[in-house]
Amino acid sequence: MTNKDLADLLFPSITKTIKDYEEMYPERNLKEGEKVTRFAPSPTGYMHLGGFYQAIIDYVLAKNSNGVFFLRNEDTDTKREVKEATKLIMDTLTHYNIIPDEYEFEGNIVGSYGPYVQSERKEIYHAFIKYLIEIGRAYPCFCTKEELDEMREVQERSKVRTGYYGSYAKYRNVPVEELISKVKEGIPYVIRFKSMGDFNKKFVFEDLVKGKIELPENDEDFVIMKSGDGLPTYHFAHLVDDYLMHTTHVVRGEEWLSSVPKHIELFRTFGFKPPKYVHTPLIIKKEGTSVRKISKRKDPEASMTYYKEKGYPVKAVIEALMTIINSNYEEWHTANSDKEFTDFVYSPKKMSSSGAFFDLEKLDNIAKTVISKMTKDEVYDNLYNWTKDYDKEFNELITKYEDYTKNVLNIEREQKKPRKDYSCYSEIKNQIFYMYDELYNPSSYDWGSITDKDEINKILNLYMDKYYDISDKEVWFNNIKELCDNLGYASNMKDYKENPDNYKGSVADVSTVLRVAITSKSMTPDLYEIMKLLGKDRIISRIEKLK
Ligand code: GLU
């Protein structure tokens, strides 16, 4: 009996060969330098910031080079799979406008290299595994979990490297007849790769981020096909998929670096050219004075859902990630503010190899600038979309008062130096609530330096009786100054600073009284604009309420 008999016994219905698949998925028509990248998440129901940042790199690499970016659903670990998970991945990419050129979603395949869902590619993997069995480079292993645990214990006790390799690889040299009869008996098995590597030998591997590194050859007969569902492991699926889909660059987390020797040996065994690898550093954050890996368990911001729920602008999240992807991005972006992030030429060499430092404060700053540069219509639309999902009440209000809301949002906007007040859409309501009677019900007032009730009333009464005029900003301000002169407050800040004892206070204090009486807040954008939008009736009623 031969390896061929074993291969036929294991995969009786597999008739297609590797060659058949090579013909089905021919070389892509790429021009020099065009890159093919893929985002290959496992559908776990959680979209990690670290995964998304890899997707951005994939996207930029492909767009930079006029290449192809595709999405592959790596669902071979069916125990972990969550039904809605694929939707979450698609929704996240769509939200950020990182649209793959090829993908599969809800049964719809876009692209000629699919299926793009691993569990639908079982036959393809089996053809490749069948070939390895035929050439004697893979075999079934019948070890039980207990046997493997025991082997590991023995290795630990004798202080040798753990793993299924060399003389520890129990089924490696078992005659094919015996393997066949065990399969026929129905004993469960996995398929293992038969390694020819030597752990004591090193080879040079070039990672695009870390540069040339020396790695030991693989000598483990690692599992390539699991028992039960017959699906491949990541190592094997990666080889088959990235080969047939003609991926040129694999961008993945640096936790995969230690698996590179396995992957390289697999590629060599098939005689395939491996893709280029971009092993991305972990995303780290500050905690006190030290830094640590951003964690799914501890950090809400590790999940992409966080940014959507808070309502961070899409552009800001991408900008913030681009700045940690390449440290020269910010400088480039300042010099090329009219360009898209996809115009930036990403360089893996410029990635920090010790960790990508992500900082929420930085994101807030970026987001404030991004929102401040939006037109009133843009902020309104974004706020509308965000509230539709996350704040129904406010959504109804801004729909009812659409034009008014746009004017409110336009205070100190659409000008050379716009005001930077909001870092995300969820912050807006709390900052402009006083512009809506429906939301205005202050339980406290931020009075500034003037807190005496009688004095406050005096200022407000006189203002409303004699000085209220909002026909023009200059008139409005001159009137406030006259009010100051009338009541013994300095109408000119310079005079006040020179002789503070000559006055009860200054025009700043008086303005604060007005501001707080009308909005309950001591810090707001331009009070004149606010008063104009609120109108006299509402101003009067708010002042009345204070009495
Ligand atoms: N499915 C793998 C993961 O989620 C992908 C790694 C890769 O991109 O090759 O980690």
The tens digit of pLDDT for each residue in 187-221 reads 999 999 999 999 999 999 999 999 999 999 999 99
- The answer to whether 469 and 460 have CB atoms below 8 angstroms apart is no
pLDDT average, residue stretch 233-241: 98
Share of the chain above pLDDT 90, in %: 94
Shared domain for 388 and 461, answered yes or no, is no
Instruction: Give the end of a domain, one of 253, 280, 307.
Output: 280
Distance between CA atoms of residues 259 and 205, nearest Å: 12
Shared domain for 259 and 400, answered yes or no, is no
Sign of the alpha-carbon dihedral angle for 157, 162, 165, 166: negative
The tens digit of pLDDT for each residue in 266-286 reads 999 999 999 999 999 999 999
What's the Cα-to-Cα distance from 294 to each of 22, 317, 326, 337, 356, rounded to whole Å? 41, 16, 18, 30, 10
> Is 116 part of a structural domain of the chain?
no
The answer, yes or no, to whether any atom of ligand 1 lies below 6 A from the CB of 55, is no
What's the Cα-to-Cα distance from 17 to each of 20, 21, 262, 472, rounded to whole Å? 5, 7, 23, 82
In the structure, what pLDDT confidence band is assigned to residue 369 with cuts at 50, 70 and 90? very high
The answer, yes or no, to whether any atom of ligand 1 lies below 6 A from the CB of 238, is yes
Shared domain for 8 and 150, answered yes or no, is yes
Compute, in angstroms, the gap from residue 117 CA to the centroid of ligand 1.
13
Shared domain for 146 and 246, answered yes or no, is yes
Query: For residue 85, is pLDDT > 70?
Result: yes
**The domain containing residue 521 runs over which residues?**
453-544
The tens digit of pLDDT for each residue in 475-491 reads 999 999 999 999 999 99
SS3 34: coil
The tens digit of pLDDT for each residue in 502-519 reads 999 999 999 999 999 999
> Is 458 part of a structural domain of the chain?
yes
**For ligand 1, what atom is nearest to the CA of residue 255?**
10
- The answer to whether 49 and 358 have CB atoms below 8 angstroms apart is yes
> Is 299 part of a structural domain of the chain?
no
- The answer to whether 198 and 217 have CB atoms below 8 angstroms apart is yes
Give the per-residue pLDDT at 80: 61
Shared domain for 145 and 259, answered yes or no, is yes
Compute, in angstroms, the gap from residue 43 CA to the centroid of ligand 1.
10
Query: For residue 354, is pLDDT > 90?
Result: no
In the structure, what pLDDT confidence band is assigned to residue 449 with cuts at 50, 70 and 90? confident
pLDDT average, residue stretch 299-318: 97
pLDDT average, residue stretch 124-145: 98
The answer, yes or no, to whether any atom of ligand 1 lies below 6 A from the CB of 37, is no
> Is 261 part of a structural domain of the chain?
yes
In the structure, what pLDDT confidence band is assigned to residue 547 with cuts at 50, 70 and 90? confident
Give the per-residue pLDDT at 81: 60
In the structure, what pLDDT confidence band is assigned to residue 334 with cuts at 50, 70 and 90? very high
Shared domain for 498 and 418, answered yes or no, is no
pTM over cut 0.85 = yes
Q: Name residues whose C-beta falls within 8 Å of residue 127's C-beta, 6 or more positions apart in sequence.
A: 11, 14, 16, 17, 18, 20, 21
Distance between CA atoms of residues 542 and 518, nearest Å: 6
CATH code where residue 520 lies: 1.10.10.350
Nearest Cα residue to atom 6 of ligand 1: 252
Query: For residue 539, is pLDDT > 70?
Result: yes
The tens digit of pLDDT for each residue in 380-393 reads 999 999 999 999 99
Name the residue of 36, 38, 39, 42 whose CB sits within 8 Å of the most ligand 1 atoms, as the mutation to test its pocket: 42
CA angle 42, 47, 51 (to 5 degrees): 75
> Is 73 part of a structural domain of the chain?
no
Radius of gyration of the chain (CA): 33
Name the residue of 37, 72, 74, 89 whose CB sits within 8 Å of the most ligand 1 atoms, as the mutation to test its pocket: 74
Name the residue of 252, 260, 267 whose CB sits within 8 Å of the most ligand 1 atoms, as the mutation to test its pocket: 252
Give the per-residue pLDDT at 78: 67
Query: For residue 448, is pLDDT > 90?
Result: no
Give the per-residue pLDDT at 372: 97
Compute, in angstroms, the gap from residue 337 CA to the centroid of ligand 1.
33
Shared domain for 252 and 385, answered yes or no, is no
Compute, in angstroms, the gap from residue 254 CA to the centroid of ligand 1.
11
Query: For residue 353, is pLDDT > 80?
Result: no
Shared domain for 388 and 259, answered yes or no, is no
Query: For residue 139, is pLDDT > 90?
Result: yes
Give the per-residue pLDDT at 69: 98
According to DSSP, residue 28 is labeled: P
> Is 469 part of a structural domain of the chain?
yes
Shared domain for 162 and 273, answered yes or no, is yes
Kind of pairing, strands 103-105 and 283-287? unpaired
Shared domain for 171 and 247, answered yes or no, is yes
Query: For residue 336, is pLDDT > 90?
Result: yes
Query: For residue 103, is pLDDT > 80?
Result: yes
**Total of domains in the chain:** 3
In the structure, what pLDDT confidence band is assigned to residue 82 with cuts at 50, 70 and 90? low
CATH code where residue 151 lies: 3.40.50.620
Nearest Cα residue to atom 10 of ligand 1: 41
SS3 253: strand
Query: For residue 84, is pLDDT > 90?
Result: no
Distance between CA atoms of residues 361 and 156, nearest Å: 46
Give the per-residue pLDDT at 157: 97
* Token code pair at residue 503: 């006055």
Instruction: Give the end of a domain, one of 407, 435, 463.
Output: 435
Distance between CA atoms of residues 381 and 370, nearest Å: 15
Instruction: Give the end of a domain, one of 280, 301, 333.
Output: 280
Compute, in angstroms, the gap from residue 42 CA to the centroid of ligand 1.
7
* Token code pair at residue 166: 């060399």
Nearest Cα residue to atom 3 of ligand 1: 41
The answer, yes or no, to whether any atom of ligand 1 lies below 6 A from the CB of 126, is no
> Is 107 part of a structural domain of the chain?
no
In the structure, what pLDDT confidence band is assigned to residue 79 with cuts at 50, 70 and 90? low
> Cis omega before residue 140 (within 30°)?
no
Shared domain for 214 and 127, answered yes or no, is yes
The counts of H helices and E strands in the chain are 22, 14
Q: Output 353 or 416, whichever has higher pLDDT.
A: 416
In the structure, what pLDDT confidence band is assigned to residue 118 with cuts at 50, 70 and 90? very high
Nearest Cα residue to atom 2 of ligand 1: 41
Share of the chain above pLDDT 70, in %: 99
The answer, yes or no, to whether any atom of ligand 1 lies below 6 A from the CB of 250, is yes
Shared domain for 381 and 463, answered yes or no, is no
> Is 167 part of a structural domain of the chain?
yes
* Token code pair at residue 545: 């309420």
Name the residue of 234, 262, 266 whose CB sits within 8 Å of the most ligand 1 atoms, as the mutation to test its pocket: 234
Distance between CA atoms of residues 222 and 224, nearest Å: 6
- At 178, the amino acid letter reads E
Mean pLDDT taken over the chain: 96
The answer, yes or no, to whether any atom of ligand 1 lies below 6 A from the CB of 71, is no
Query: For residue 185, is pLDDT > 70?
Result: yes
Query: For residue 37, is pLDDT > 70?
Result: yes
395-401 long-range contacts (CB < 8 A, ≥24 apart) are: 397/436, 397/438, 397/439, 401/436
The tens digit of pLDDT for each residue in 397-427 reads 999 999 999 999 999 999 999 999 999 999 9
